[in-house]
């Protein structure tokens, strides 16, 4: 198939990230891994094993803005002179990595405080997020990609599909002829992709409705005729239709669980997260809060839950 899968280590719980080398013209790398000496050394070995060198890479493609995928892009682009392709809407966010990360951290802290996380935990998580930044880097995109257009390589055409949800910039690259796709973290075979709340890509204030967006994206992807999706982590997906059904079913169960918790008594989103995950809701406060807020968005859209303010915090209660 001319595609090499190259797992590269990351400092994150998700484990290795899959980078892919498409052996064609231009010689194309999909995602580059986080910025670390070890990741770069392993990427070098993988690429050498294919008979090429990092210096030969002609095009680097980013699937989304997360640092385990984009951290090494600048380094590889500097060594190789490669073009860098990414979704047009993500160009500013990728170029301004430090300011973008600051803005994401500001959002995370203000959301945590508003939703019931204590100030000391919110600050501790901000410091942690700060320390993870060393694995990221700014990315200068030289080839902005537009939704619906095609990325033309010598032996294949990849359709560019914006599929926000896990991050605002998730992009799927679909090879219609071969019925395959590069999916980034849009879908993962072994775990559900966290619908992490972020800043909107257009720079507007506020937050994304990440789970609502993710559901719309999954519905689009579910319609596509694909036999193989190569993901950012874990094994290839060979039944995306069944996997998406499974993701929707577990989301349905969680919606009912959260509704039940709020039916016991009204509470903050963080208190809901603690009722579900216990101490994990503290150590991973923003991740679990993103999950709960995502589900609350849906419960409120459905008219089943309402939000009210009490002592600067948002309280959720069942109305049906
Ligand atoms: Zn990832």
Q: What is the pLDDT of residue 240?
A: 98
Spacing, Cα 148 to ligand 1 middle (Å): 23
Helices 240-264 and 269-277 cross at an angle (nearest 10°) of 110
Q: What is the pLDDT of residue 311?
A: 93
What mean pLDDT do residues 198-213 have? 94
Spacing, Cα 34 to ligand 1 middle (Å): 10
Question: With 0-12 CB in 10 A as exposed, 13-18 as middle and 19+ as buried, what is 61?
Answer: buried
**What tokens were used for 242?**
């069944």
Spacing, Cα 170 to ligand 1 middle (Å): 10
Residue for token digits 């210096």?
Answer: 55
Q: What is the pLDDT of residue 162?
A: 98
Q: What does the DSSP 8-state code read for residue 272?
A: H
**What tokens were used for 114?**
């508003």
For 156, phi then psi, to 5°, come to: -160, 160
Binned at pLDDT 50, 70 and 90, residue 131 comes out as confident
Spacing, Cα 71 to ligand 1 middle (Å): 11
Spacing, Cα 220 to ligand 1 middle (Å): 21
Spacing, Cα 98 to ligand 1 middle (Å): 19
pTM of the model: 0.96
**What tokens were used for 267?**
């509470």
Q: What is the pLDDT of residue 283?
A: 87
Q: What is the pLDDT of residue 146?
A: 98
Q: What is the pLDDT of residue 11?
A: 87
Binned at pLDDT 50, 70 and 90, residue 228 comes out as very high
Q: How long, in residues, is the chain?
A: 320
Spacing, Cα 172 to ligand 1 middle (Å): 13
Spacing, Cα 76 to ligand 1 middle (Å): 18
pLDDT above 80: residue 1: no
Q: What is the pLDDT of residue 85?
A: 98
Spacing, Cα 167 to ligand 1 middle (Å): 10
Contacts with 160 (C-beta within 8 Å, 6 or more apart), sequence order = 87, 145, 146, 147, 148, 149, 150, 151, 171, 173
Spacing, Cα 305 to ligand 1 middle (Å): 32
Average pLDDT, the chain: 96
Spacing, Cα 56 to ligand 1 middle (Å): 25
Q: What is the pLDDT of residues 98-128, one digit of tens each?
A: 999 999 999 999 999 999 999 999 999 999 8
What mean pLDDT do residues 182-210 have? 95
What mean pLDDT do residues 238-253 have? 98
Q: What is the pLDDT of residues 132-148, one digit of tens each?
A: 899 999 999 999 999 99
Count of beta carbons in the 10 Å neighbourhood of residue 260: 11
pLDDT above 90: residue 282: no
Spacing, Cα 232 to ligand 1 middle (Å): 6
Spacing, Cα 185 to ligand 1 middle (Å): 6
Spacing, Cα 31 to ligand 1 middle (Å): 10
pLDDT > 70: what percent of the chain?
Answer: 100
Spacing, Cα 195 to ligand 1 middle (Å): 12
The beta-carbon contacts of 199-203 under 8 Å, at least 24 apart in sequence, are 199/93, 199/100, 199/103, 199/104, 199/107, 199/168, 200/168, 201/89, 201/90, 201/92, 201/93, 201/168, 201/169, 202/89, 203/92
Q: Please give the C-alpha separations between residue 67 and each of 12, 56, 136, 209, in angstroms, as whole numbers.
A: 10, 23, 5, 21
């Amino acid at each position: 198939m001319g595609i090499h899968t190259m797992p590269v280590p990351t400092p994150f719980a998700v484990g290795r990230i899959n980078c892919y080398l498409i052996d064609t013209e231009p010689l194309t790398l999909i995602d580059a891994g986080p910025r670390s000496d070890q990741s770069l050394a392993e990427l070098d070995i993988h690429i050498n094993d294919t008979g090429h060198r990092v210096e030969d890479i002609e095009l680097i493609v980013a699937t989304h803005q997360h640092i385990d995928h984009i951290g090494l892009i600048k380094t590889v682009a500097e060594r190789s002179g490669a073009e860098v392709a990414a979704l047009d809407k993500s160009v500013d966010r990728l170029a301004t990595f430090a300011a973008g990360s600051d803005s994401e951290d500001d959002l995370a802290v203000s959301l945590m405080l508003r939703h019931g996380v204590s100030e000391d935990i919110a600050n501790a998580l901000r410091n942690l997020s700060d320390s993870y930044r060393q694995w990221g880097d700014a990315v200068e995109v030289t080839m902005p990609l537009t939704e619906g257009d095609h990325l033309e390589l010598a032996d294949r055409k990849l359709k560019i599909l914006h599929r926000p949800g896990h991050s605002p910039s998730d992009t799927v690259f679909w090879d219609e002829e071969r019925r395959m796709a590069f999916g980034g973290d849009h879908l993962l075979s072994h775990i559900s992709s966290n619908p992490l709340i972020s800043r909107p890509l257009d720079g507007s204030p506020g937050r994304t409705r990440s789970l609502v967006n993710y559901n719309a994206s999954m519905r689009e992807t579910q319609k596509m005729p694909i036999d193989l999706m190569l993901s950012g982590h874990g094994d290839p997906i060979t039944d995306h239709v069944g996997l998406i059904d499974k993701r929707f079913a577990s989301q349905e169960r969680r919606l009912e669980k959260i509704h039940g918790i709020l039916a016991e008594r009204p509470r903050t989103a963080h208190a809901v997260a603690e009722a579900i995950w216990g101490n994990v809701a503290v150590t991973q406060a923003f991740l679990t809060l993103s999950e709960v807020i995502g589900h609350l968005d849906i419960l409120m859209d459905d008219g089943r839950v309402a939000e009210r303010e009490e002592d600067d915090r948002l309280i959720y209660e069942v109305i049906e």
